[in-house]
Amino acid sequence: MNFRIVTDSSSNVLCRPGEDYGCVPMKIVAGQEYVDAPGLNVAQMVEDLKGFKGKSGSSCPNVGEWLEAFGDAEYVFGITITKHLSGCYNAARQAADTYMEEHPGRRVYLFDSLSAGPELMMIADKIRQCEAEGDDFDTTVAKVLDYHNHTHTFFCLESMNNLAHNGRVPLTVAKLAGVLGIRIIGEAQGGQIVPVHKPRGAKKALHAAMQVLRERGYQDGGLIRIAHCYAEDAVQEFMALVRESFSHARFIVEPTTALCSYYAEAGGYIVGFEGAFNAHNDNSKF
């Protein structure tokens, strides 16, 4: 089956050499525009944003960028950041409809990740597994939707300044959390970002993260995929804590690119993992 996987750059994977894979760039606007594409100096962007006092935000790829990324594949699987926080899915939907109109017989299926970060690439890897097993288009869609019903995402943040500058949380709340050393443990629920714990200090944050992992039914041997924004030490501590209870845990760790670095900020990390049935990931509801 000749097919191509295309994600937006909230996946944190901008290219995959040797694979039929495309990534369309999100953009950060904060005094200047930062395009989430290979070649961007993410460290410099993060440093620039620390001193930026104005309103900032992000913008999604347009229909033309999605169409270009679809290439010339017979079958396309698109994966987007949650449509509840971005117009990315809608742009991809328009591109998919146009692509199929222009190329009768070709098919495009869009997966709304209902999340951001590692969960997109977990979906992508499940698609590749189906390809390796020789599954056809419809079987792949069915298997991946079932898999998505068992994936989860949470994040741990040290700072909420950019969320505040983007209007996601009140600026006073972000400043108070910084002064008190409060971390935010949030979760993707039905495409929305929901705070679930507000521990004070790094150690309590680690144990709160473990609590989420347990409560969402993670089982030993399952995959845990982590994207972090200059939070290597915190991630290593979290992994060590996980291994104390789940000695066969499988990890993939990668740095965040621009979009997720913008929201996670330095010291933040995002965790996607396999767990129990996740009613919030039922795409048929959205």
Report residue 176's pLDDT band, with 50, 70 and 90 as the boundaries. Answer: low
- Phi, psi dihedrals of residue 77, rounded to the nearest 5°: -115, 115
Distances in whole angstroms, Cα of residue 272 to Cα of each of 37, 76, 150, 212? 22, 23, 11, 11
Report whether pLDDT(286) > 60. no
Q: Who has greater pLDDT, 92 or 57?
A: 92
Question: 0.75 cut: is pTM over it?
Answer: yes
Report whether pLDDT(208) > 60. yes
Residues 229-285 have pLDDT tens digits of: 999 999 999 999 999 999 999 999 999 999 999 999 999 999 999 999 998 887 655
Residues 48-88 have pLDDT tens digits of: 988 888 788 899 999 999 999 999 999 999 999 999 889 99
Report residue 175's pLDDT band, with 50, 70 and 90 as the boundaries. Answer: low
- Which of 33-47, 160-174, 238-252, 254-268 comes out lowest in average pLDDT? 160-174
The reported pLDDT for the residue numbered 77 is: 98
| Local structure of 82: helix, strand or coil | coil
Structural contact between residues 277 and 149, judged by C-beta atoms closer than 8 angstroms: yes
Structural contact between residues 274 and 126, judged by C-beta atoms closer than 8 angstroms: no
Report whether pLDDT(27) > 90. yes
